Structure 1
Amino acid sequence: MSHRLEPLVVRHTRRLPLPTGPSGQGDVAARQFDAVLMSAGFKLSAELLRRLSGLSEGTVVDIAVRTLRTVRELVGDHVRHNVYFVDFPANVPDTFDFWTRCITEVLAEDETRERTLAQLASGVVNLLTLPSYGNYRHTYAEMLAHHGELIAAAGDRLTVLHLGGKAEDEISALYLALAGSGTPLGEDGLHDLRLLAGHCVDGPQPEAIPVRENRAVVNEARLSAGSGLLLDTVTDVLRLACALSGGDVTLQEPTRFRTLPRPVRRALLAGLDSVVAAAPGKLADVAVHREPWKRLGERLHPHEYPRWPHAAEVFAVARGEREARSFDSRVEELLGMNDVVGATELLTSAPGKLFRSLDRLLRTALDQDERDTVVAAAELVAPEVSGRVVLSVREHLHNRPEATGERRVFVNRLGRAWVTDDTRPTVPPMERKRLIAALDAEIGRRLPRVERVLVDPAVLDVALPLSGRATAAGLGVLPRGSVTPVDGELLRFFVYWKQAEQRTDYDLSGLLLDAEYNTVSWLSYTSLSRFEGEHSGDITEAPDGASEFINLRLGAVRSTFIVPQVNIFAGEGFEECEESFFGFMLREGEQQGRPFEPRTVRMKSELRGPGRVALPLAFRRARDGRWTAKWLHLYLRGTPSANRVEGNQVTVATLLRGIADREFVSVRYITGLLAGRGTTVTPWDGRSVPEGPVTYIGLERPEGLHADSRIITPENLRDLIPE
């Protein structure tokens, strides 16, 4: 079992659980393992290399095979990345010349000439009918023969794998971290938690599981093991039922409830009964999810179990046979009567809801007394609000427009984005500033007392993961809103996809915008080469997997923004295909190599969102010529088919305008609060390592830190969010 879960530890922590096995002379195999890892952009720490060297050769080889499989998948090197133009980025033709050549080749063939002539006579030629268009014209091996070896460069990525503790200890620690996370996990995180929860159900448990979706996954494992359920609301039971049916525990998508075994039905009904018996007022939560409760009642048959009458009340409320007025409806009634003070007083009994309502309360208040009441209530209950909510409200208020008429960006928990005019009245500046100061003081009060923090400057503008739901799994993936430096002469981004059942055509494009968000140009299958760079060529189906690349010389780019996007032209969506991911590489000008070189990959992110257009991130050039990346993790609805960069450039520009200058709560904010409390915050120069223990915050864990140091990297960045 531990071998099956070992990849989870490597992916989440960049640690390899303590290798065990017969002693021997494994030093040669360990060095070979290290060399192969470096070709993929990874390396063994000195401590891990020493540990492996003392094991038998066979043991080292087994560990190497498992670990290499994990890290290659992390970076996207587990598949073969071919390109349409065999010499890419060299010898990419002009788009019109290329299309002309494809037509000329078809006209030379007797069996296709007549059909093509008919298309030409109509004035429109369907590229998909041309045999030489859209399919690889050479093998992967033939493509490799056209490219020289990658020349090593100082800027190549090198991710160090560190020595971990005993396998069971590492697995348990990871389970506790994910289950007890104060930040919602993404789809992949919930999947990993499910595996870990089943393994760790009889071991140590977190003191609290604040995120309801995490609790549902843990309860699923506890139910299977016959352990007691962790329930304190009726919605906990509904989420558990969704988990048991393989549905959406976030309750955002409808779940098709399965027929449940009698013991499971009894456990769910007993749990419902105990919750309602202890607090009848919690029946008010049923109305929020009335329809799912009705469908679940058809599976649970509560009428068959008269010994749990309180459980039956839940379904009576869902059917409308019993009234249980919700808390939100009482708040709405008061606000409908313009009773801001009454609504505020009611909301103080639910501090999280009060904080989420602050904007509305302040812009609804009619006079200074009412505004003072709202702010005073927020200051009073602030200690009872979760750190994640406090930071979210602080970020909202900091970015709140001081005038009407701005554009407002909406992003749901799945990453789907849209923009509309902001017609809300403004929040009064005095109250806004007072609240921000109060929230800063509250977060500062909760931060731990530490003497010294060592921080990598590259991580300062990384956003705190206030929600992990719309952040995809992968390598080097950072939360939405993060800004990181881009150092390199060549930027190359890529997409890979493999269709599951039907022909699927994804198109990689790069939109170039000026400082005013006007289109300068673009690279796509309709614009293969420009002064700034090249497109690798259009692949129109992927039964065995397909890749597309865009290569850009950053020094030649005339625009301010580069916005990569993946458009679904035809076929399966991002959540339907067998596999799909996006990433980018950085190279120096003199480096050669294959179109895809794993050690130059800076980021690889799974594409698993809604919509037909993906916007993973955007690159921005500052006035001094330096480039940064801003992480978006956004999806646009698009059209059912034939999405192209030409058709969505206005939407993308409008969306980017609304989000590019938004300031997210970042590592810089937290380190600033720590410094204000007397902590010594020192920028790390990448070389000198202090002798004593420190709190280190960076993109990668450096070697040589004291064993008692606290390490914060993107893998556990959520630990910076105070409870």
Structure 2
Amino acid sequence: MLHALERLVVRHTHRLPLPAAPVEGGDGEVAARRFDAALMSVGFKLSAGLLEGLGRLPEATVVAVAARTLGTVREIVGDHVRHNAYFIDFPANVPDTFDFWRQCVAEALDDDTARPGVLERLRTGVLDLLALPSYGTYRHTYEEMLAAHDELIAAAGDRLTVLHPAGTLDEETTALYLSLAGSTTPLGDEHLSDLALLAAHRVDGPQPEAIPIREHRAVVNRARLDAGADLLLDTVTDVLRLACALSDGDVALREPTRFRALSRPVRRALLSGLDAVVAEAPAKLADVAAHREAWKRLGERLHPHEYPRWPAAAEVFAVARGERKAPSLDSRVEELLGRGDVTGAAELLTSAPGMLLRALDRLLRAADGPKERDAVLAAFESAVPRVSGRVVLSLREHIQNRTGTAGERRVFVNRLGAAWVTADTRPPLPPAVRARVCAVLDAETRRRLPAPGHLLVDPAVLDVALPLSGRATAAGIGVLPRGSVSPVEGELLRFFTYWKQTAERTDYDLSALVLDEDYATVTWLSYTALTAVEGAHSGDVTDAPDGASEFIDLRLGAVRGSYIVPQVNLYSGEGFEQVEESFFGFMLRETEQRGRPFEPRTVRMKSDLRGPGRVALPLAFERGEDGGWRARWLHVYLRGNPSENRVEENRVSVALLLRGLLARTPLTVRHLIDLMAPDAAATTWWDGSTPPEGPVTYIGLERPAGLPAGSRVLTPENLRDLIPA
């Protein structure tokens, strides 16, 4: 358990807790230096302070810490698995696609077992690559592939992620628990799992002042229920989410949960909590209708009729069955809008300020004339102080993109990352209205932001999109929220994907689509196009019982287009959420560095592939006006076909989606820094020099060494803490 918690701290904070009682005069210096050298081979390094702290420990302790930490960081960067390449010399000596296919056919015809079936298909005019024995499976071992490649030559541009010293494990896990549980933005699935582990460990320790995100509250409540602690419930839906958590279902209530049989003590706890919520505020029964079917199924497990002492809880299930009326706020608002009473709808929504802000665009469009529009805006202004900072910033981002430009397209990305595009038929909002709304939202955001003191900012973080949802990103290293922009520097850009199937033969296809400035197709690299002017594909692997990797190597100087869109297509087998493991990433290196197809020191980004759909689009690369390249983070999935997805068949839909996504302007860190700067004691742009004296608020891509004690550090790992409550 303690080792699992240590792993969480390293992964989330890039800080390493040391044993609580260092031994003076320890003999760990040599082991610590060896540990540092081993870390550098995978692109990590110990800070001077951490190296010194480890050196004071016994050698055996350092060796044990090193073994655990190396395993953690190798998994972070994707080096915990063996990355073999189908073509042993990749990126050298990759054959022409059709020459390679002819070779596979010739080898099949020389095979007495395969020949009859291959001839039968060829006579019908069909070339089935999967029927060719030499196609799709590795022809060499991992060790043989390693022997075919020179050692990587180190370069100044290789990634080097520094690990810093941390407090005690107890201090660090407490701080991490408070940060995750009290986050003002929803966590992704992996972080929710981490929160569950931490909540079980810290249930008797300090708790956050508030848990504003309902999914987080459900995870914490499960841990509290298991420990016999009081539950945190203030809506009927809190109870439903907790029931989903107890059945390992979807606490976000996106997907139906198959409720398990519940013990009597658990049933009593849920019904007692439900009864207390409804008895205190009967109006909360209106929330039941939104999840009527889930409540019916839960009622079959809770048996509320067996517990007459909790009559208010029974009312919930009566509403779900339709035996009692409890009109929802949504239905009352729709009734008013149906009668054309926009002012009445806005006034009603002031009792639910979050819903009012989410409906503001619609209300403004439905308003009949300036008088009614002013009434809507007045209701909005009265509601703004009572909504979460995340909703304030989300509306700000929405309004700044409501320009009404002719031919605009709307891009929809749901909470799972599934994306689609449609024409924007909404009438534009008047510029004066947009300006008024933005001014109110900015003033409210500035009011909530804490005084930063001395603000120290790495300019590289300015174009990072605000993480308004943890689901707008993916777990990994070097991963930024959807809409973020980061520069790409290097001669060679190499994509990689890895997957390991669970039970069924699974074939993922790594591809890269190159588009011109008008989003028209220039070329692509995939298993159907192994080579192009731009680079080469490592070859098609069609079965991954022990895991499989595919690579694409691109020479950025040779790219003929303006956009590069890597994608992972599901050709057959298990989806991204069914395989045992799947991830994507990219490396940057110089031509003379050579090395193996996968070199952890050159990995700039690695992210898990866990989403709906059959086509994953982690990010895109765009050429700037100066000719340089930059990454634009997407984190979206296309529905695709049930099987046999290929880059040449989805290139039109990818181009449409990319055009829509790039047309949007995300709200970035720059926006909040501009709002904080007037209240800062000073603002300094970080240039790698000695930090200023005294505590600072540091915002950057990585934690620098030598910050004064008491400093607040915000990096992509905890950038969610920048979002005001």
Assess same fold via TM > 0.5. Answer: yes
Which one of the candidate residues 496, 499, 508 is aligned to 1:497?
499
Question: How much has 1:453 moved relative to structure 2?
Answer: 1.5
Match of 2:326 in 1: 324
Cα deviation per residue 1:290-329 (whole Å; 9 max; x = unaligned)? 0000000000000000000000000000000000111111
Correspondence 1:607 to 2:612: no
Question: How much has 1:693 moved relative to structure 2?
Answer: 2.1
For 2:710 and 2:320, the matched residues in 1 are separated by: 53
For 1:410 and 1:679, the matched residues in 2 are separated by: 40
Match of 2:239 in 1: 237
Cα deviation per residue 1:321-366 (whole Å; 9 max; x = unaligned)? 0001111111111111111111111111111111101100100001
Which one of the candidate residues 708, 715, 718 is aligned to 1:716?
718
Match of 2:598 in 1: 596
Match of 1:686 in 2: 688
For 1:257 and 1:113, the matched residues in 2 are separated by: 52
For 2:659 and 2:406, the matched residues in 1 are separated by: 16
Which one of the candidate residues 376, 379, 398 is aligned to 1:377?
379
Question: How much has 1:662 moved relative to structure 2?
Answer: 1.1
Question: How much has 1:688 moved relative to structure 2?
Answer: 3.6
- Secondary structure in structure 1 of the residue aligned to 2:285: helix
Correspondence 1:226 to 2:212: no
Question: Where does structure 2 lack aligned partners over 5 or more consecutive residues?
Answer: none
Which residues in structure 2 correspond to 1:86-485 (within 5 Å)?
86-403=88-405, 405-485=407-487
Query: Is the Cα–Cα contact under 8 Å of residues 490 and 554 in structure 1 kept in the other structure?
Result: yes
For 2:681 and 2:450, the matched residues in 1 are separated by: 10
Question: Where does structure 1 lack aligned partners over 5 or more consecutive residues?
Answer: none
Query: Is the Cα–Cα contact under 8 Å of residues 452 and 679 in structure 2 kept in the other structure?
Result: no
TM-score by length of 2: 0.98
Match of 2:10 in 1: 10
Match of 1:567 in 2: 569
What residue identity is the alignment partner of 1:522? W
Query: Is the Cα–Cα contact under 8 Å of residues 490 and 586 in structure 1 kept in the other structure?
Result: yes
Query: Is the Cα–Cα contact under 8 Å of residues 404 and 426 in structure 1 kept in the other structure?
Result: no
For 1:290 and 1:3, the matched residues in 2 are separated by: 42
Cα deviation per residue 1:655-691 (whole Å; 9 max; x = unaligned)? 0000013111111111111224455332211234323
For 1:71 and 1:349, the matched residues in 2 are separated by: 48
For 1:718 and 1:551, the matched residues in 2 are separated by: 34
Question: How much has 1:107 moved relative to structure 2?
Answer: 2.0
Query: Is the Cα–Cα contact under 8 Å of residues 525 and 552 in structure 2 kept in the other structure?
Result: yes
For 1:70 and 1:677, the matched residues in 2 are separated by: 40
- Secondary structure in structure 2 of the residue aligned to 1:715: coil
Query: Is the Cα–Cα contact under 8 Å of residues 509 and 527 in structure 2 kept in the other structure?
Result: yes
- Secondary structure in structure 1 of the residue aligned to 2:593: coil
Question: How much has 1:401 moved relative to structure 2?
Answer: 3.4
Instruction: Name the % identity.
Output: 72
Query: Is the Cα–Cα contact under 8 Å of residues 507 and 571 in structure 2 kept in the other structure?
Result: yes
For 1:201 and 1:242, the matched residues in 2 are separated by: 20
Query: Is the Cα–Cα contact under 8 Å of residues 454 and 680 in structure 2 kept in the other structure?
Result: no
Query: Is the Cα–Cα contact under 8 Å of residues 179 and 721 in structure 2 kept in the other structure?
Result: no
For 2:115 and 2:498, the matched residues in 1 are separated by: 33
For 1:90 and 1:499, the matched residues in 2 are separated by: 28
Match of 1:80 in 2: 82
Match of 2:488 in 1: 486
Cα deviation per residue 1:700-719 (whole Å; 9 max; x = unaligned)? 11111112211110011011
Which residues in structure 2 correspond to 1:539-688 (within 5 Å)?
539-677=541-679, 680-688=682-690
Query: Is the Cα–Cα contact under 8 Å of residues 94 and 536 in structure 2 kept in the other structure?
Result: yes
For 1:450 and 1:187, the matched residues in 2 are separated by: 31
Question: How much has 1:428 moved relative to structure 2?
Answer: 2.0
Question: How much has 1:376 moved relative to structure 2?
Answer: 1.8
Query: Is the Cα–Cα contact under 8 Å of residues 245 and 255 in structure 1 kept in the other structure?
Result: yes
For 1:526 and 1:246, the matched residues in 2 are separated by: 41
- Secondary structure in structure 2 of the residue aligned to 1:564: strand
For 1:465 and 1:668, the matched residues in 2 are separated by: 13
- Secondary structure in structure 1 of the residue aligned to 2:365: helix
- Secondary structure in structure 1 of the residue aligned to 2:114: helix
Question: How much has 1:22 moved relative to structure 2?
Answer: 5.2
Correspondence 1:25 to 2:27: yes
- Secondary structure in structure 2 of the residue aligned to 1:149: coil
Correspondence 1:515 to 2:517: yes
- Secondary structure in structure 1 of the residue aligned to 2:671: helix
